[in-house]
Amino acid sequence: MPGTRDTMVYAFLGIFLLIGLSPLLARDVEITIEDTDLGLPLEGALIRSWDGGERICDEEGKVTLAVPDDRQVVIQVAYPGYESGRLVIPLTGDRFTLGLHLSGIMENQELVIEAQRPGVSETKSGRSVAISGDELTRTAEIGILEDVMTSIKLLPGVGYTGMFNARPSIRGGEPGDLTAVLDGFYIENPYHWGGSVSIFDPRMVQSAQLSHGVFSARYGHTISGLLEVSSRKPSFTETELELGVSSSAANLNLSIPLASKGGLMLMGKVTYWDPFVWTAQQLSTVVDNETLDQINAVSIAPYIRSTAFSVDYRFTPTLEWTMSGFIGGDGAGAAYQNEGYTEDGATELHNQTDMDFEWDNSLGFLITGLTLNPLPSMVLKTTLGAGFLKTKLDGNIYYNIHVPYSEDFRNQYGSLLEDNTAYVLEQDQRIGITNTAGSYQGRADLDWDLGKGFLVAFGLQELYSRWKLEDSIHGIAETKTPPEMDIPTPYINYPVDYTVDVNNQGLTSSAYTVLEYTTPNKRFGAEAGLRLDHVYFIGDDFTIRTVPAFNPRINLDFGVLQNKGILDSLTTTIGTGFFSSMTDNISQIERSNGIGDFEMKQNRSWTSVVGTKLDFLGGYSFNIEGYFKYVFDRAYTILSTDSESQTSSSDYLFDGEGRIWGFDLMLQKLESRYWDGWLSYSFNYARYRNPQALSTVGKDKQEEGIWFYPSFHRFHNLNLVLNIKPIKQFNIAVRLGLASGRPKAVVGEINPYAVLVMNDDKPLVIQKYKRDTYYSDNERTTWSIPLDLKFSWFFFNSKGKGQGEIYVAVENLMSLVYKAQANTSFNSYTGEEDTGSNAAVYELPIPMPSVGFKWSY
C-alpha cells in the first residue's frame, strides 16, 4: 500500500522522540508534609497529584513526585483530623514542605494517632489485596463497560470469566459466593444485566479490597471471597466537577464542600448502547459468524441508569457522620422472528419461530453511619442501612416447524406415523418471573487500642432479608420413557409447569471479637478472632431453626528482615480459620420441601494460608501465597420432573463438600514516572462432590456422588497489567491475560431417535436428533487469551486546577486471530451441526473499540 512504509517510519520515529525527550519535560521533586505546630512528619498523608494520581507519604512524611518543567502545578494534601492543604509547585526547586493545621479547635487535648477505623482498605499478605487511585482508574475506566470488577478480575486468585461476566470464581469458590460490602453494608446481588456488570462504577469508588485469605472476623457471609468497596469521599474545602463521556456512557460527578467541615458528592451515569448495537448488526451482514448474528435479535438495546450520592461531615474532631445512597435500573429486550422454507423432494416445508424477551431490573440502598472517638485510643462505628431489589423477566418462544422423516425412521415407525412424509410440531414456552428482595441492616464496631501493641475489637450485626418470588414457567420436558408406561418410543416429550409463589424472610445475627498484637519493631504480629453467625428462616406458614456457625480465625505475621540492601522488608504470614455463608437458593424454599429444624445448614469452609511478601527498593514488590480449603455442609439442589402431573420440583440438600488448594504469585511495580503495573499468576485445583446427585460418566452410565471439577474451574490464570508513560501527558495501558480452559462434556455422534409428543389433543411421534454427553475429568475448552489496549492523553490548564483525559481503547483484540473453542452445537430437529464451535466464554467475537473523554475541575 503506498505510504504505509513512510507512515510506520514516522510513527516509530515519533515514539522514539517522545521517549528520548521525556526526561527533559519533567523533573522529580521531594515534598514533606508535617504538623505545623509540632513539626512532626505526617506519615500516611494522602497526596493528590497534579495528574490525578494519589501518593502516600512515608514514615518521614516524604513523597517524591514527577512534575512538568514547563508550568507550575497544584497538588492537594489530606490527612485525617487535619485541614486539607494545597501546595503550588513553581518552575524551580526540588524540595518543598507543607504544614497542616488540626481541624477545628482542640484546646487542652494531646495529639494522638487514632486506631485504624473498621473497614479501612489495605493490602495484607495472606488476607487481602487492595486497589485504588491510578491502579483502579487505569484498569477499570476502559471500554464499553467501565466497572470496578474489571480491575478485580485482574488480581491474583480470581478466575477468568470473559468480558460480560462480573461474577468470577475466587480461589475455586462458587461465583455466587463472592460477597460485596459497600461502606460496611452487605449488598445483595450488586449487578446489572443479571451479573454481566457490577453496580460499582469506578467514578463512585475510592478503593476496593478483595479479601480471599484468612481475613478478619469483623466480616463474614462468605466462604470464598469478600469485596470491600469504599465509596468516593467529597472534598471538605474544594468544589469539584468531573465529567466523563465515552462511546457508550456518560458520567457526571459534583462535589460540594459543607462549611469546611464536610462535603456532598453527587454522581450519575447513563449508558447508550444503541449506536453500538446498530454497528454490530450492520457488521453481522458482512461477517459470517453465528454468535454475531444473535445481535440482530436485540429489540431494546441494553441500558443502565444510575445515580448515587455521598455525604461526609465532621461535627467535631472526634465525631464524623457519613451517608451514601444508590438507585439504579437496567434493562434489555430481544425479539426474533424467522420464517424459512425447505424442500424435501416435491414437498415444500414451512418453518416459523417467534421469540420475545424483556428484562427489567432496579435496585437501591441507603446507608448512614457515625464514627466516634470517645477516647483517643478508641473508635466506635455504627452503621444502619436498607436496600431493595426488583427483577422482572417476561418471555415467550413459539415455533411451528415442518420436518421431514428420514427413510430409516419411516421404515421403523411407519405404522405410528400419521403422515409418512413429514411431521408438523407446534409448541410454545413461556416464562414470567418477578422477584423482589429487601434488606435492613445494622451493625456496631468498636476498636480499642489497649496500648503496648494490643488492640481489641468487638462487633454486633443484624441482617434482615425478605424475598418475594412469583415465578411461572411453562416449558417442555423430555425424558426417557418410564418402564411402566406402554409407549413404543424410547423418549417422551410433554409440557411442564414450574411455579413458585413464596414470601420468605431470613434473620441473620452475628457477633465477633478480635484481639490484635504487634511488637514495637513490627517484627511480630498476631490477630485472633471468633465470629458467630446464626440464621433464622421464616416462611409463609413455617419456620426453620438452624445451628449457629462458630468461626474462629487466627493470623500470625513475622517481620523477618527490614532494610537489608535492596530489600526493604520481608514478611511471612500464617493463617487458618473457619467461614460460613448461606446460599441464595434458600429464598425459594417452601413448606412442601419438608426441611425441618436444624436440617438447613450454612455453607462452611476451613481455610489455611501461608504467604510471603518482599518489598524492594525502587517500588518493587513480590508476594506469594499458598492455600488449602475444605468445604463442607455445602448446599445444592436436585431438580426432578413428574411426567404424570407434568410438574417440576427441587430438593434441597446440605451435605455437599469440596477440596481446594493452590497458590498465587504477584510481582508488582508500584506507581512510578515511566512505567508501573503487575504480573500475577494463579494455580487452582478445585474438586466438588454432591453425595446424593447422579452424574452421567459414560454412555448409558450414571454414578452417584462423584468428585468433579465445577464448570467454572480453571487450573491456570495469568494477568499482565502494564502502564507505559513515555511522557507525563501520555499513557499506554496494556491488559493481557492467559487462562486455561474450563471443563466441557465428552460428546458422541449425532444420531436420530423417536419421541412421543404428548399434546393435549393428540399424541404425535416425531424424529429428533441427540448425541450422548457425559462428564470427564480430562476434557477442557481451549485457552482464553484476552488482550485490551488503552491510549490516554492527559491535559491540564496553566493554573493546575483543571485536568482532562482523552482515550482510545480496544478490548478483545485477540478475537481477530483467535477464539477459545468449546463443543459444537447442532439443531435437534434436523441434526444439522453448526460450523466451527461455540465460544468457551460468552462475548462477541469481534474487537470492542471505544473512545472517551474525562474532564475535572
User: What's 141-190 look like in SS3?
Assistant: CCCCCCCHHHHHCCCCCECCCCCCCCCCCECCCCHHHEEEEECCEEECCC
Q: Can you tell me the mean pLDDT for 122-143? A: 77
Res 71: pLDDT: 58
| 114 pLDDT higher than 60 | no
Contacting residues for 438 by C-beta, under 8 A, at least 6 apart:
386, 387, 388, 389, 465, 466
pLDDT tens-digit readout, 679-708? 999 999 999 999 999 888 777 788 889 999
pLDDT tens-digit readout, 326-364? 999 999 888 777 666 555 444 455 677 788 889 899 999
- Which of the residue ranges 40-54, 255-269, 616-630 would you say has the lowest mean pLDDT? 40-54
Res 108: pLDDT: 32
Sign of CA dihedral 809, 815, 821, 826: positive
CA distance 361 to 386: 18
Give percent of the chain with pLDDT exceeding 70.
86
pLDDT tens-digit readout, 500-544? 888 999 999 999 999 999 998 888 999 999 999 999 999 988 999
Give percent of the chain with pLDDT exceeding 90.
42
- Which of the residue ranges 26-40, 76-90, 285-299, 742-756 would you say has the lowest mean pLDDT? 285-299
Res 121: pLDDT: 44
Res 315: pLDDT: 92
| 599 pLDDT higher than 70 | yes
Sign of CA dihedral 189, 809, 742, 817: positive
Phi first, then psi: what are they for 441, rounded to 5°?
Answer: -135, 150
Nearest to 844 by CA among 273, 290, 158: 290
Res 28: pLDDT: 77
Res 842: pLDDT: 54
Sign of CA dihedral 762, 763, 769, 772: positive
Res 798: pLDDT: 61
Res 86: pLDDT: 73
**pLDDT bracket for residue 120 (50, 70, 90):** very low
**pLDDT bracket for residue 836 (50, 70, 90):** low
Q: Can you tell me the mean pLDDT for 622-636? A: 95
Residue type at position 772:
D
**pLDDT bracket for residue 761 (50, 70, 90):** low
Residue type at position 295:
I
Mean of all residue pLDDT scores within the chain: 84
Residue type at position 634:
R
More confident residue, 45 or 760: 45
pLDDT tens-digit readout, 154-189? 999 999 988 888 999 999 999 989 999 998 889 988
Res 744: pLDDT: 92
| 133 pLDDT higher than 70 | no
Res 16: pLDDT: 33
Q: Can you tell me the mean pLDDT for 751-755? A: 90
Is there a contact between 741 and 714 (Cβ–Cβ < 8 Å)? yes
| 657 pLDDT higher than 60 | yes
Res 85: pLDDT: 75
Nearest to 730 by CA among 6, 25, 9, 12: 25
Res 171: pLDDT: 95
| 430 pLDDT higher than 80 | yes
Which three cell numbers, joined as nine digits, stand for 754? 423417536
Q: Can you tell me the mean pLDDT for 429-456? A: 93
- Which of the residue ranges 4-8, 169-173, 288-292 would you say has the lowest mean pLDDT? 4-8
Using a 10 angstrom Cβ sphere, with 0-12 exposed, 13-18 middle and 19 or more buried, the burial of residue 317 is middle
Q: Can you tell me the mean pLDDT for 69-92? A: 71
More confident residue, 406 or 605: 605
**pLDDT bracket for residue 246 (50, 70, 90):** confident
Q: Can you tell me the mean pLDDT for 489-505? A: 87
Res 686: pLDDT: 97
Contacting residues for 689 by C-beta, under 8 A, at least 6 apart:
656, 657, 658, 705, 706, 707, 708
**pLDDT bracket for residue 128 (50, 70, 90):** confident
H or E element in which residue 687 lies: strand 675-689
More confident residue, 366 or 43: 366
| 2 pLDDT higher than 70 | no
Res 20: pLDDT: 36
Res 5: pLDDT: 38
Which three cell numbers, joined as nine digits, stand for 190? 450488586
pLDDT tens-digit readout, 548-595? 999 999 999 999 988 888 888 899 999 999 999 998 888 888 888 889
| 263 pLDDT higher than 80 | yes
Res 21: pLDDT: 35
| 460 pLDDT higher than 60 | yes
More confident residue, 757 or 728: 757
CA distance 524 to 828: 64
More confident residue, 370 or 845: 370
Q: What angle do CA 783, 788, 791 make, to 5 degrees?
A: 165
| 498 pLDDT higher than 50 | yes
Nearest to 135 by CA among 217, 20, 55: 55
Q: Can you tell me the mean pLDDT for 388-400? A: 91
Q: Can you tell me the mean pLDDT for 711-724? A: 95
